Amino acid sequence: MSQQLDRTTPVPLYYQLYQILENEITNGSRKPGDYFGTELELQEQYDVSRATIRKALERLEANGYVNRITGKGIFIAAVRLRIDLPELLSFSEEMKRRGMQPGTRLLGAEAVEAPVAVVQALQLADGCEVLQLRRIRLGDGQPIVYSDSYVPLAIGLTPEDDFSGSLYERIHEACGRYVDEAAHSIEAAVADAELAEHLHVEAGFPLLAFRRTGYDATGAPIVYERGFARADQYSYEIKLKRSVRS
């Protein structure tokens, strides 16, 4: 039996409903992708107005609990992978920390002339060749990130190497150097037709675009990455602290 709304309390009905529905989603009885209902079904179940149910659903959607699909209804959303910055982890480490099985679908590995952005990021000479890796990173078998990674050939990696695991670990195995720190930028993006196909979403789907330059302990750049993560399955959290108090 559904939990009932308390119409005598000053707490708004939409917020009570949000809490009830949030608990129903997070108590473990439903899984990502499960059908949750329609606005009309929930409206009738809880005997509330259309405005109330919509406000509660908007809050659930904003907090990543549900996805609303026009003409089909409301479905339980996949749990987003939250990355706490500024801690630096490889994708494989991020997956394992959250109890997910990391995976890789290699789209290509080849030596190419470094693009201008890569020349600048890795402090290379013009015309220098780098190893380019195009990969889809998976979490529990589901595509989460599309990435292009560039590594100087001097590192010692070749296109024939095994890139099914962590690139950071592979770099360490090849030359004994760790990715010690990184400069990481994030911005909003949408999926074009190619990215949509790779990430199993529709064109126009919201993504998080990122660029990252990784440095070894001496401060030398050793890897440059650019990629796109599904915004429904990936999020970043940053803790900020004021250095000056007024």
Tell me which of 179 and 118 has the higher pLDDT.
Answer: 118
How many Cα atoms are found within 13 Å in the side-chain-facing hemisphere of 130? 27
Q: 13-76 has which CATH code?
A: 1.10.10.10
| Higher-scoring residue by pLDDT: 240, 131 | 131
pLDDT value at position 149?
94
Tens-digit pLDDT profile for residues 154-171: 888 999 999 988 888 888
Express each pLDDT in 91-121 by its tens digit: 666 666 666 677 889 999 999 999 988 998 9
Q: What is the pLDDT of residues 186-225, one digit of tens each?
A: 888 899 999 999 998 888 988 889 888 888 888 889 999 9
pTM value surpassing 0.85: no
Q: Options 1.10.260.40, 3.90.1150.10, 3.40.1410.10, 3.30.56.10; which CATH number does 81-238 get?
A: 3.40.1410.10
- Tell me the C-alpha distance between 92 and 137, whole Å: 9
Please say whether the beta carbons of 134 and 227 come within 8 A.
Answer: no
Pairwise CA distance, residues 104 & 98, whole Å: 17
Give me the pLDDT at residue 45, please: 87
The alpha helices in 159-237, defined as continuous H runs, are 167-175, 193-199
Question: What phi and psi values does residue 141 have, to the nearest 5 degrees?
Answer: 85, -5
DSSP string, 85-136: ET----HHHHHHHTT--EEEEEEEEEEEEPPHHHHHHHT--TT-EEEEEEEE
Domain ranges of the chain: 13-76, 81-238
Handedness of CA 40, 46, 51, 55 (dihedral sign): negative
Kindly tell me if the per-residue pLDDT of 152 is higher than 80: yes
pLDDT value, residue 4: 76
pLDDT value of residue 178: 84
Query: For the chain, what is the mean pLDDT?
Result: 82
pLDDT for 1 equals 45
Residues 79, 65: Cα–Cα separation, whole Å: 8
Residues pairing with 129 in the sheet: 113
In this structure, the chain runs to a length of 246
pLDDT above 90: residue 239: no
For residue 69, what is the enclosing H or E element? strand 66-69
Nearest to 182 by CA among 150, 149, 225, 146: 225
Distance CA 167, CA 181 (A): 14
| pLDDT at position 240 over 70 | no
Per cent of the chain over pLDDT 70 is 83
